[in-house]
A and B are shown apart, each in its own frame.
Chain A
């Protein structure tokens, strides 16, 4: 057992409630997958769910897909760990959707392409560009898969922390401590493998249509699993504001707090003492706290020098999250599943409401967790604040017995739903790119729909296996941080591509490709460099592999500005990508597609005019299929 001697320990095994709830979630997911396999027959069902998903189902499914492990576990953990600055994550996740609605969703839907690579080729008449876009779909998808996998591993290891594999024939499975001796519990990679296998099976069986229902159901499961524990916890430990009140802002002293509030809810005075590792109240509750000042603190800058840097960090984070949302391939592909453009817009409105309501809750858990479960500050990553969503409801158990176990079980079920639904969405978009774009359009253009469907299944299994393999390696990294980097890459590549292609008719293929590749690759390099130097500090096997990057950390401590620009690259990569697109397109302006006016008309004219069909017929007649 680790330092968290939770009530699980004296139960002498796995809490049956937690186990039952998690098991039921997984079982329902598998059952729905098999059931939908019977109704998913055509290639259209597999790739875009037959383009016939109703607004309610589609909005729930998009929200289910969107609220990943990072949203369910990461945000609460991050709010607890760093305070105010972490609130930018949920807000920008929701706001990014607005950006998508304002500038990209409508035109893209009207254009009537199957996937992003379809759009890239259709807009620029360039098969080469399709290939580039495919590589990027796979790439961003895999990058975003890793944190989902980490969530799975963490949660399963948490549920089975009381399991003891030592001494039996399964001893080789048991996790090992730093000294190399076997310890109790389930290793991290088992959760990764279980979720990977379940979802791969689901996607291979039912494709897009199959997972739509599963994801829609999983949204409501997540909503239930975050809101019910929050309401119960607030009833027991005091409200959101009350718990926040006990963290004193600069200039406030304990005596200055309005006494009336404290009398009304006396529990607030029973706040647990913070361990030394926890950030101080002032830094935690105010803007520009531990997250945004980390690099400057490492360089021992004065507070005056630190503040502008943390403002820069905040802006870069906002740009990455907002633009990145508008460029995540697995979210975009869902717009094609709406029957028409009006439905696509209505869907987006509902998604905004569904995810907005959800995002109010995780920070509440972080705030209450800081007051009542501060010992989590002593753990790292999976054993630290990342598991607050799962751990906090167990506090109820001491007071109300089985009720606490049920709550904890609900939270675990929600966590399972979270990483399963996001991973299914990613797997479908990556598999679609392989089966539809690589196989169906590049390798075997003459293949029949049946062959493409079979290819879809093989591709799902292949990518599922790769995701599990990579996911097993990322245990030391923080969930929310990894997600932020996937967003930074999408923000610097897909977002400029889509935004400029839709609104500027002067774009050429060369301009688009140069901007997208340069922005995306630079963001990736920055992310890789930051990750490598973080992994070098790890005490486990990863630290040894990445030991050669350790000197980077000395460099960072002397150049905090460079560290921030590397950790949050969006502030320079997004303008750079857009700038390159403009400059190169101007230089190659003779390559602007000849029927550009027609393309623009299809992107912007109301669907009632029926231009889309006209365009597609022309195109198909020309392509000969």
Chain B
């Protein structure tokens, strides 16, 4: 089926592009914040609460446990969430346009 002119107009309209970019950027920034808070917050915690972060948990210091082990699953959760959401976002956008 050749694309209808109204669909073409929608795709190439300014409103479509800015809505597209805004939605994607919002999702990306949201996920980035969740991870930056942990990544940039840990040095601050080490700096201001060294005693607490040196607490022993199963032989590890708390800060070693977080950085050496727990950080990796945390990153997996964020990326899993992002991939799920962004695939859904793309499917919605495509459906929205194709429906016209």
Contacts and interface: CB of A to CB of B under 8 A. Distances in A.
What 7 pairs between A and B have smallest CB-CB spacing?
A241-B59, A356-B72, A287-B46, A245-B59, A606-B90, A608-B94, A249-B54
A106 B87 CA distance: 10
Given A95-B39, A101-B79, A241-B59, A286 B68 contact: no
Contacts of B61: 84, 244, 249, 285-286
A335 to B, nearest CB: 14
Contacts of A286: 46, 50, 54, 61
Given A95-B35, A363-B68, A608-B98, 16 more contacts: A84-B64, A84-B67, A98-B31, A101-B83, A102-B31, A106-B86, A251-B54, A286-B61, A345-B87, A356-B76, A359-B72, A360-B72, A503-B25, A601-B17, A601-B20, A607-B90
B31 A601 contact: no
A207 to B, nearest CB: 30
Contacts of B53: 287
A277 interface: no
A83 to B, nearest CB: 9
A98 B35 contact: yes
Contact of B47 (A285, A311, A322): A311
Interface string B51-65: 101101111110110
Nearest to A312: B43
B78 A98 contact: yes
B40 interface: yes
A87 B68 contact: yes
B11 A345 contact: no
Contacts of B50: 250, 286-287
Interface string A256-272: 00100100000000000
A286 B24 CA distance: 39
Interface in A229-276: 239-245, 249-252, 258, 261
Contacts, number: 149
Contacts of B86: 106, 345
Contacts of B76: 349, 352-353, 356
Contacts of A621: none
A294 interface: no
A578 B16 CA distance: 27
Given A103-B32, A240-B59, A251-B51, A94 B24 contact: no
Given A250-B54, A357-B72, A605 B79 contact: no
Nearest to A282: B54
B87 A342 contact: yes
B37 interface: no
Contacts of A241: 57-60
Contacts of A315: 40, 43
Given A249-B61, A261-B59, A288-B46, A605 B75 contact: no
Size bracket, chain A contacts: 35 or more
16 contacts: A91-B68, A92-B39, A102-B31, A239-B59, A243-B59, A244-B61, A251-B51, A286-B61, A287-B53, A318-B39, A318-B43, A356-B72, A601-B12, A607-B90, A608-B91, A609-B94
B87, B90, B94 — which one has the most chain A CB atoms within 10 A of its CB?
B90
Contact of B32 (A102, A349, A604): A102
Contacts of B47: 287-288, 307, 311
A87, A307, A315, A346 — which one has the most chain B CB atoms within 10 A of its CB?
A87
A99 interface: yes
Interface string B71-100: 111011011101100110011011001100
Given A91-B67, A609-B11, A609-B97, A346 B43 contact: no
Given A101-B82, A360-B72, A503 B94 contact: no
A322 B46 CA distance: 20
B22 to A, nearest CB: 10
A244 B87 contact: no
A500 interface: no
A105 to B, nearest CB: 10
A605 B93 contact: yes
A244 B65 CA distance: 10
Contacts of A345: 83, 86-87
A91 B94 contact: no
A615 interface: no
Nearest to B43: A314
Contact of B56 (A245, A311, A314, A318): A245
Contacts of B80: 349
Nearest to A257: B56
A326 to B, nearest CB: 11
A604 B24 contact: yes
Contact of B21 (A101, A244, A604, A607): A604
Contacts of B32: 99, 102-103
A57 interface: no
